[in-house]
Structure 1
Amino acid sequence: MNSLDQLRSGALVGAQRLTLRAGLRELPPEVYTLADTLEVLDLSGNALEDLPNELPRLHRLRVIFCSDNRFTRLPEVLGRCAALEMVGFKANQIVEVPAAALPPRLRWLILTDNRIASLPDELGRRPRLQKVALAGNRLRALPATMAACERLELLRISANQLDALPDWLLALPRLTWLAHGGNPFSAGHEARALAQAPLPTQAWQQLEVQALLGEGASGHIHRVGLPDGRQLALKVFKGEVTSDGLPSTELAACLQAGTHAGLIPALARLAGHPGGADGLLMPLIGPEFRVLAGPPSLASCTRDVYALAQPLPISAALGIASSMAAALAHLHARGLTHGDLYAHNILHDGQGQARLGDFGAASFLAAVPAAQAARLRALDVRALGCLLEELAELAGAASPRTAPGHALATLAQRCLQPDARQRPTADELALALAAIPPV
Structure 2
Amino acid sequence: MGNKHVKQHLETAQKTGVLKISQLRLNEFPSALKTFPNVLKTLDLSENRFIEISDEIGRFTALKHLNVSGNRLTLLPEVLGALLKLETINAMNNMIERIPISVSQCKNLKQVNLSNNQIVEFPTMVCGLKHLDILDVSRNKIRTIPPEVGTLHATELNVNQNQISDISENIAICPRLKTLRIEENCLQLSTVLSKILKDSQICNLSVDGNLFNSKAFSELDGYDEYMERYTAARKKIF
TM-score under structure 2 normalisation? 0.77
Structure 2 distance, partners of 1:80, 1:116, is 22
State the partner residue of 2:194. none
1:165 positional shift: 3.7
CA contact (8 A) 1:121 1:144 kept: no
Is it true that 1:153 corresponds to 2:155 in the alignment? yes
Is it true that 1:29 corresponds to 2:36 in the alignment? no
State the partner residue of 2:220. 370
Structure 1 distance, partners of 2:228, 2:215, is 12
Is it true that 1:138 corresponds to 2:178 in the alignment? no
1:67 positional shift: 0.9
1:144 positional shift: 1.8
CA contact (8 A) 1:338 1:362 kept: no
Secondary structure of 2:143's partner?
Answer: coil
Is it true that 1:12 corresponds to 2:13 in the alignment? yes
Structure 2 distance, partners of 1:27, 1:38, is 15
1:30 positional shift: 2.8
Letter in 2 for 1:137: N
- Alpha carbons of structure 1 residues 369 and 35: separation in structure 2 relative to 1, 3 Å: farther
Secondary structure of 1:87's partner?
Answer: strand
Letter in 2 for 1:45: E
CA contact (8 A) 2:148 2:170 kept: no
State the partner residue of 1:314. none
| RMSD of aligned Cα (Å) | 3.1
Describe how 1:190-209 pairs up with structure 2 within 5 A: none
After superposition, what is the alpha-carbon deviation per residue over 1:150-173, rounded to whole angstroms, capped at 9, x for unaligned? x31011011111114432213323
After superposition, what is the alpha-carbon deviation per residue over 1:378-437, rounded to whole angstroms, capped at 9, x for unaligned? 66346436525xxxxxxxxxxxxxxxxxxxxxxxxxxxxxxxxxxxxxxxxxxxxxxxxx
Describe how 1:55-74 pairs up with structure 2 within 5 A: 55-74=57-76
State the partner residue of 2:86. 84
State the partner residue of 1:125. 128
Q: 1:112 aligns with which of 109, 112, 115?
A: 115
Secondary structure of 1:5's partner?
Answer: helix
1:34 positional shift: 5.7
CA contact (8 A) 1:130 1:152 kept: yes
Describe how 1:165-314 pairs up with structure 2 within 5 A: 165-185=167-187
CA contact (8 A) 2:74 2:97 kept: yes
CA contact (8 A) 1:167 1:372 kept: no
- Alpha carbons of structure 1 residues 143 and 369: separation in structure 2 relative to 1, 3 Å: farther
Structure 2 distance, partners of 1:41, 1:166, is 36
Deviates more, 1:57-66 or 1:362-371: 362-371
- Alpha carbons of structure 1 residues 120 and 362: separation in structure 2 relative to 1, 3 Å: closer
- Alpha carbons of structure 1 residues 73 and 63: separation in structure 2 relative to 1, 3 Å: same
Q: 1:380 aligns with which of 225, 230, 236?
A: 230
- Alpha carbons of structure 1 residues 104 and 376: separation in structure 2 relative to 1, 3 Å: farther
TM-score under structure 1 normalisation? 0.44
- Alpha carbons of structure 1 residues 11 and 172: separation in structure 2 relative to 1, 3 Å: closer
Q: Number of residue pairs matched?
A: 216
CA contact (8 A) 1:125 1:146 kept: no
CA contact (8 A) 2:147 2:169 kept: no
CA contact (8 A) 1:76 1:102 kept: no
Question: Which segments of 5 or more consecutive residues in structure 1 lack a partner in the other structure?
Answer: 188-336, 341-360, 389-439
Structure 2 distance, partners of 1:130, 1:26, is 32
Identity %: 23
Computing the radius of gyration from Cα coordinates, the structure with the larger value is 1
CA contact (8 A) 1:52 1:77 kept: no
CA contact (8 A) 2:145 2:167 kept: no
1:32 positional shift: 5.6
Structure 1 distance, partners of 2:78, 2:14, is 28
State the partner residue of 2:77. 75
1:79 positional shift: 1.5
Structure 2 distance, partners of 1:48, 1:135, is 22
CA contact (8 A) 1:7 1:30 kept: no
State the partner residue of 2:197. none
CA contact (8 A) 2:151 2:175 kept: no
- Alpha carbons of structure 1 residues 11 and 124: separation in structure 2 relative to 1, 3 Å: closer
State the partner residue of 1:257. none
